[in-house]
Amino acid sequence: MINEWFHPAGSLAREGFDSVVDADIDGWTHTGFRSVTLGDSSPDEQHPTAIELAAAAVERVLVPLAGESFTVDYTLSDGSTGSRELTGRASVFHGPADCLYLPTGASATVSSAAGRIAIAEAPTAESRPVQFLPAAEVPVELRGSGISSRQVHNFATPAGLDCVKIIACEVITPGGNWSSYPPHKHDEAIPGSESRLEEIYYFETAVSRGSNAPEAADPFSLFSTYSSGAGEITTSATVRTGDIALVPYGYHGPLAAAPGYDNYYLNVMAGPDEERVWLISDDPAHGWVREEWEALEFDTRLPYTGDSAGSAAADSETSKEK
**Residue 317 covered by a domain:** no
Structural domain of residue 259, as residue ranges? 6-294
**pLDDT for res 311:** 40
Rounded Cα distance between 205 and 266, Å, is: 12
Q: What is the pLDDT of residues 271-291, one digit of tens each?
A: 999 999 999 999 999 999 999
CB atoms within 10 A of CB 260: 14
Can you give the CATH number for the domain in which 171 is found?
2.60.120.10
**pLDDT for res 40:** 86
**Residue 244 covered by a domain:** yes
**Residue 307 covered by a domain:** no
**Residue 78 covered by a domain:** yes
**Residue 302 covered by a domain:** no
Nearest to 139 by CA among 100, 181, 94, 169: 169
Residues in the chain with pLDDT values less than 50: 309-316, 320-322
Nearest to 63 by CA among 115, 6, 28: 115
Q: What is the pLDDT of residues 107-164, one digit of tens each?
A: 999 999 999 999 999 999 999 999 999 999 999 999 999 999 999 999 999 999 999 9
**pLDDT for res 313:** 40
**pLDDT for res 45:** 79
Residues 6+ apart with CB under 8 A from 272: 29, 30, 196
**Residue 305 covered by a domain:** no
Our count of domains for the chain comes to 1
Measured over the CA atoms of residue 269, residue 273, residue 277 and residue 280, the dihedral's sign is negative
**pLDDT for res 314:** 33
**pLDDT for res 34:** 98
Chain centroid to CA 287 = 23
